[in-house]
Amino acid sequence: MSFNNQRVLPAVRKIKDLEKLLTSPFQYIVLLDCHIGMLKSLVDLAKSHGKKPLLHVDLVEGLKNDEYATEYLCQYIKPTGLISTRASVIMKTKENGLLAIQRLFLLDSSALRKSYTLLERTKPDYIEVLPGVMPHIIKEVGEATGIPIVAGGLIRTVSDVENALEAGAMAVTTSDSSLWKHYQA
């Protein structure tokens, strides 16, 4: 399972950045910091340009990130997939047949241990490891879980992207448009 060999997943915070990506070669894009009232139009716009939007549920303003909201997103908004830190969101996303990406903030060894327990329960399609500038942790989590890894957070340079990919990440999420330009080919 991969993102059609797309190594960078542009993470969009502003509508003008989404508009720029509509004509880019990127197929998968991540929508961040959206308002609930704009979700449907943003997802539909992206899809009308052949994009596969991944929606970060935890960052949608005006939406409680619970199972009911997840049902609404899956059945009405219909993005390609959902990203969340919440187990209930990931499990409901999988029930609805959308791509489920479990976001993990790996701040210390305790968080890492708790994450392994969580992943046994949620069984996401992908894990987004944050911060993504820890190649040895990316490798460890990938080997321990067998679940494909996406690296995100604090990815600032081409070297950061390459190190994450070399450590086993399938792709890297970043809101840094200079990295989008570098990896457009």
Q: In whole angstroms, how far apart are CA 27 and each of 11, 39, 51?
A: 12, 18, 5
pLDDT of residue 1: 55
User: Who's near 23: CB < 8 A, 6+ residues apart?
Assistant: 49
Question: Model confidence over 20-77: pLDDT tens digits?
Answer: 999 999 999 999 999 999 999 999 999 999 999 999 999 999 999 899 999 999 999 9
Instruction: Check: CB of residue 119 under 8 Å from CB of residue 147.
Output: yes
pLDDT of residue 48: 98
pLDDT of residue 185: 61
**Residue whose entry in the numeric block shows the structure tokens 């190190």:** 163
Q: Is the pTM of this model over 0.95?
A: yes
pLDDT of residue 118: 97
pLDDT of residue 2: 83
**Residue whose entry in the numeric block shows the structure tokens 């990316």:** 138
